[in-house]
Structure 1
Amino acid sequence: MDVVVGRVAKAHGITGELAVDVRTDSPELRFARGSALVAKLRDGTSRTLTVAAARNHSGRLLVRFEEVLTRDVAETLRGTLLFAGTEDLPPTGDPDEFYDHQLAGLRAELADGTVVGTVQDVVHGPGGELLVLRREGGGEALVPFVRQIVPTVDVTGGRVVLDPPEGLLDAH
């Protein structure tokens, strides 16, 4: 399975370096020299890029890929999503911490076993994380990913248990 680890924001400089918005907790692993990433371009095409170098700069990661040698080529990659495989991710080391890809696809149910939907995604916002649920009857619901509302995450059992406050799951 592949997960998004970054998005190309823009070209940087004249040698093909790219400013990347990081979307991983382990950029030192994902953007290590020699790492192969799958780049999905805005036009829908994909290609493999190999990290030649990476460094931090003004809140972004500046990455040079072996296949991108000029600013002109770098400009064509603006908006590209960068993917990496999940098989080499280290364990989180915290039983209450999960990778987004572990949550996607889990069945969302209430404490009594009533299925309310499926976790589609995790949105990371300034106020915290939200689970995006595809509702059983159609539509979506956003659920704050906090222990009070999501007391149980059972990855091996394929489910999250919700204890939503009144009205949270009501259709809008």
Structure 2
Amino acid sequence: MKTLYNVGKIVNTQGIKGEVRVISKTDFPEERYKKGSTLSLFQDGKLVTDLTVASHRKHKNFDILSFENHPNINDVEKYRDGILKVSEDRLTELPQNEFYLHQIVGLTVQDEEKNTIGKISEVMSPGANDVWVIERPKKKDLLIPYIEEVVLDVDLENQLVTIHMMEGLDD
């Protein structure tokens, strides 16, 4: 079975012409919501249907989508609270040193001496760079910035991240 990734949630309809308001969960809305893209709609954890994007625009904090063969509000009202997903084979190839969230969360983190520090539990994006949250046994979580000076190597094959413990990181 193909792995599917959440790209957004339909929170409401928009107007009467079959548009829906989506709270986006993707870093690539232009790619995911472009005309002709196929999205899988899930409700209560079950696949309901595949939808083809007919149009996309931004409005306030929402992505507004319409789907082929869904010309009015009555066609899309039933999709409210649905989760839009994309299959793994439709993920975009990322540039070097960029990763999808699902590739990073769960990786084991070690220092340069190969001492295990913990596992990445979350990625936060508070500002200029991402911050990786490392869950450590019997210690409080360690927050590390995703910058070259700290994250030395990300080995997806071996599920391992090597970091340099800069002074002040573990205070």
Residue 161 of structure 1: how far off its partner (Å): 1.2
Q: Is the 8 A contact 1:49 1:66 kept in 2?
A: no
TM-score (ref. length: structure 1):
0.73
Residue 32 of structure 1: how far off its partner (Å): 4.1
Question: Could you say if the C-alpha distance between residues 75 and 152 of structure 1 is closer, same or farther in structure 2, counting changes exceeding 3 Å?
Answer: same
Of stretches 94-103 and 69-78 in structure 1, the one that deviates more from structure 2 is 69-78
Counterpart CA distance in 2 for 1:168 and 1:68 is 52
Q: Which residue of 2 aligns with 1:117?
A: 118
Look up the SS of the partner of 1:147 in the other structure. Answer: coil
Residue 14 of structure 1: how far off its partner (Å): 1.6
Residue 4 of structure 1: how far off its partner (Å): 2.4
Q: Is the 8 A contact 1:38 1:84 kept in 2?
A: yes
Look up the SS of the partner of 2:169 in the other structure. Answer: coil
Residue 74 of structure 1: how far off its partner (Å): 4.8
Cα deviation 1:71-129 (Å, max 9, x = unaligned): 4675665554422122232322x322222222122211111111111223322333431
Counterpart CA distance in 1 for 2:4 and 2:160 is 21
Q: Which residue of 2 aligns with 1:2?
A: 4
Of stretches 109-118 and 158-167 in structure 1, the one that deviates more from structure 2 is 158-167
Look up the SS of the partner of 1:101 in the other structure. Answer: helix
Q: Which residue of 2 aligns with 1:51?
A: 52
Of stretches 96-105 and 75-84 in structure 1, the one that deviates more from structure 2 is 75-84
Residue 13 of structure 1: how far off its partner (Å): 0.7
Look up the SS of the partner of 2:166 in the other structure. Answer: coil
Counterpart CA distance in 2 for 1:64 and 1:44 is 22
Question: Could you say if the C-alpha distance between residues 67 and 119 of structure 1 is closer, same or farther in structure 2, counting changes exceeding 3 Å?
Answer: farther
Q: Is the 8 A contact 1:5 1:82 kept in 2?
A: yes
Counterpart CA distance in 1 for 2:13 and 2:144 is 36
Question: Could you say if the C-alpha distance between residues 121 and 58 of structure 1 is closer, same or farther in structure 2, counting changes exceeding 3 Å?
Answer: same
Counterpart CA distance in 2 for 1:74 and 1:124 is 32
Counterpart CA distance in 2 for 1:123 and 1:75 is 33
Q: Which residue of 1 aligns with 2:131?
A: 130
The percent identity for this pair of structures is 27
Q: Is the 8 A contact 2:34 2:56 kept in 1?
A: no
Residue 164 of structure 1: how far off its partner (Å): 3.2
Q: Which residue of 2 aligns with 1:142?
A: 143
Look up the SS of the partner of 1:87 in the other structure. Answer: helix
